[in-house]
Amino acid sequence: MAQKEEAAGAAGAAAAAEPAAPTSQNGEDVENLDDPEKLKELIELPPFEIVTGERLPVNYFKFQFRNVEYSSGRNKTFLCYVVETQAKGGQVQATRGYLEDEHATNHAEEAFFNTILPSFDPALRYNVTWYVSSSPCAACADRILRTLGKTKNLRLLILVGRLFMWEEPEVQAALRKLKEAGCRLRIMKPQDFEYVWQNFVEQEEGESKAFEPWGDIQENFLYYEEKLADILK
């Protein structure tokens, strides 16, 4: 069912047994790309690192955030974030951006706490919203739990496009623990994908292109919403 591909193990063995078409670090079939410059950019994308920025490329969003049931080739996590900090006087400051990872190194969820919010000011309140291509693995859920446990002035809302390995008991237990710790978990609705498109995806200068939902976006949202509800009940 709905699972990310891991970047080792059986996948490596299968690749050795049967040559596969070249793909970029982003999981795309590079033979189907017509733009030579884009092809060069994708092939040369440095592997195994955390990438940060304000807006992600359009093709990354369309491939990585698509809420498909079978997520073949999507071996990264893309995390778009909004961090609102509120002082005692009521002043609110907001920052936003995105992270992407390779699964051979720190996952995006852990990288967020290592690079974006490595420390918390006890005099401030933090309201953090994540829009993530897929839900946390068990290890990342544990990191989130530890951070929430020691940071009482942090509120975290996680909206995910897909559920990662949701049939695994370990993953289900981790998601339930997140809920019990006060972390709010939601499946991204079509409106949430549109919000990410408008606020986190590169647009041509001076022109904002309207979000075009894929055909099964609502159907897949309902599919994952039902699965998450069953896990968390």
Query: What is the spatial distance between Cα 124 and Cα 214, in angstroms, rounded to a whole number?
Result: 40
Query: What is the spatial distance between Cα 190 and Cα 188, in angstroms, rounded to a whole number?
Result: 7
Region for 93 from its dihedrals, namely left if φ exceeds 0, alpha if ψ lies in -120 to 50, beta otherwise: beta
Q: By the 8 A CB rule, do 179 and 232 touch?
A: yes
> Hey, what long-range contacts does 28-34 have (CB within 8 A, 24 or more apart)?
28/59, 28/63, 28/73
For the chain, count helices (H), then strands (E): 8, 6
Instruction: Clarify whether 109 is annotated catalytic.
Output: yes
> Hey, what long-range contacts does 140-147 have (CB within 8 A, 24 or more apart)?
140/107, 140/109, 140/110, 141/171, 141/174, 141/175, 141/177, 141/178, 142/174, 143/109, 143/110, 143/113, 144/109, 144/178, 144/181, 144/183, 145/177, 145/178, 145/181, 145/183, 147/113
In the set 109, 110, 194, 202, the catalytic residue is 109
Q: Which residues does the annotation mark as catalytic?
A: 109
